Structures are given as C-alpha cells and as structure tokens.
Amino acid sequence: MRSVIQRVSQASVTIEGQKVADIQHGLLVLVGFEDADTQDDITWLTAKIANLRIFGDENGVMNLSVKDCSGDIIIVSQFTLHALTKKGNRPSYIKASKPEIAIPLYEQFIAQMETELSKKVQTGQFGADMKVSLLNDGPVTIVIDTKNKE
C-alpha cells in the first residue's frame, strides 16, 4: 500500500462538475493498493497518518497531528501510485490491484481511518475521473509505503 499525504489548507474533489468532497484544514491522502496488502497494512498506515505530527503548534513547530488540531481528511484512491517506470516511457500499472481486490481494501481503509479519527472522512469515488484541487500548506508532502515502514 502506497500513500501520498499532503497537509492542506483547502482541498476538494469534483466528479462530473459536482463537488463530492471539500475540506478547509487537514490532509489530502492519495492511496494505492496492491494485491499483497492486508488488514495489518491498513491498520498500520491509518494509525501512522492519523498520528503524524505535521501541523504547527502554538510556536509554529510541527508537533500536532490531524487528530490534535481537529483537521479533516479526504481519501482518494489512486492506482497510479504503483506505476512502474523502469522500462520505456509508458508506465506499467501491473502492481496495482484490480478493482475486485482494491475496492474492498479502499473501503476498509476508509472505515479504519474513521475509527482512528472518531469521525467521518470525505472521499473521492473509486475509479471515477476526478478533479482534485488542493492548496498544499507548507508545502508538506509525505510518501509512505507499507512495504518500507520507515
């Protein structure tokens, strides 16, 4: 499971002209799944994201998590995070899970994140052509892969 976490002061997702998600302060989380991902990966990654201390405290030091500052989260599935670019110029997505595997993982990821935060999260729509808008705050962008728990 691979994710890109962006601290945002505004983010939204629009599908076919309709805004389906909109937050003002929090995290935009892009997440991609592969067949080897398990519930353990979901549990580990959602806890890591919910508790990442990347928001400023009263002294401007990144010392608070999204939970600490009552921030919101938008989760967007993105299979292109598993792009293989070693050969040629056309990325291969062979490592990305097919929908029959990825959709249940995505739904479990959302549910686990809501448990971590004790509130609803907003989402994109799996497989849709989404327009994602964000104002990256900082900028702060962190990449986490559950296969490299670093």
Decide if 80 is catalytic: yes
Decide if 78 is catalytic: yes
What 3-state DSSP class applies to 27? strand
Q: Average pLDDT for residues 132-144, to the nearest whole number?
A: 97
Q: Which of 24, 38, 80, 115 is catalytic?
A: 80
| Rounded distance between C-alpha atoms, residue 7 and residue 26, angstroms | 6
Q: Which of 6, 46, 78, 123 is catalytic?
A: 78
Could you report the per-residue pLDDT of 34-62, keeping only the tens digit for each? 999 999 999 999 999 999 999 999 999 99
Could you report the per-residue pLDDT of 65-124, keeping only the tens digit for each? 999 999 999 999 999 999 999 999 999 998 999 999 999 999 999 999 999 999 999 999
Q: Average pLDDT for residues 125-150, to the nearest whole number?
A: 94
- Write down the pTM of the prediction: 0.94
Residue 103: is it exposed, middle or buried by C-beta count within 10 angstroms (0-12/13-18/19+)? middle
What 3-state DSSP class applies to 99? helix
Q: Which of 6, 46, 55, 79 is catalytic?
A: 79
> Residue 149: what pLDDT?
78
Decide if 79 is catalytic: yes
> Residue 150: what pLDDT?
66
Task: Compute φ and ψ for 71, nearest 5 degrees.
Answer: -75, 165
